[in-house]
């Protein structure tokens, strides 16, 4: 396995290692469940499909520009932490995010067709 950034996390988007700063979250699930209570008092579940995805603060530099993150459409992506790998198929950036020019970072949020957790 490749060396993890800061010993905690490595993000690879379409074969390119991306540096990140601050928080990073992964949503590997493809279903959201909500409780529903009938008029008779019975409890049920409403299942809603959702797209798996991730979001985090990524650094912007010569090769990873804000435009490159914006143009990230239907690409492979993997997030590696200690002992766990999240592989995303068909990952796409939401395309609208804030670019902090002073800090040289951009808030990236992506969704995917599928996430495999190993």
Q: Domain for residue 2, yes or no?
A: no
Q: Domain for residue 108, yes or no?
A: yes
Q: pTM score > 0.75 for this model?
A: yes
The region that residue 59 occupies, defined by phi over 0 for left and psi between -120 and 50 for alpha, beta otherwise, is: beta
pLDDT at 109: 92
Average pLDDT for consecutive 10-residue bins of the chain (118 residues)? 54 86 87 94 95 91 81 93 91 87 89 95
Residue whose entry in the numeric block shows the structure tokens 């390119």: 16
CATH number at residue 102: 2.40.30.200
Q: Domain for residue 49, yes or no?
A: yes
Q: Domain for residue 1, yes or no?
A: no
Phi then psi for 22, rounded to 5 degrees? 75, -145
Give CA torsion, residues 112, 78, 6, 102, to 10 deg: -40
Q: Domain for residue 62, yes or no?
A: yes
Q: Domain for residue 3, yes or no?
A: no
Give CA torsion, residues 51, 24, 110, 106, to 10 deg: 160
How far, in Å, CA of 78 to CA of 104, rounded?
A: 23
pLDDT at 6: 47
Q: How many domains does the chain have?
A: 1
Domain that holds residue 36: 9-117
Give CA torsion, residues 92, 94, 99, 100, to 10 deg: -100
């Amino acid at each position: 396995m490749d060396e993890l950034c800061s010993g905690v996390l490595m993000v690879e988007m379409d074969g390119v290692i991306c540096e990140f700063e601050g928080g990073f979250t992964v949503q590997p699930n493809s279903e959201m469940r909500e409780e529903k209570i009938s008029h008779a008092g019975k409890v049920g579940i409403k299942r809603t499909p959702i797209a798996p995805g991730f979001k985090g603060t990524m650094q912007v530099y010569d090769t990873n520009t804000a435009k490159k993150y914006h143009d990230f459409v239907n690409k492979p992506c993997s997030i590696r932490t200690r002992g766990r790998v999240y592989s995303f198929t068909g990952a796409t950036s939401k395309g609208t995010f804030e670019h902090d020019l002073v800090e040289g970072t951009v808030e990236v949020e992506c969704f995917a067709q599928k996430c495999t957790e190993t």
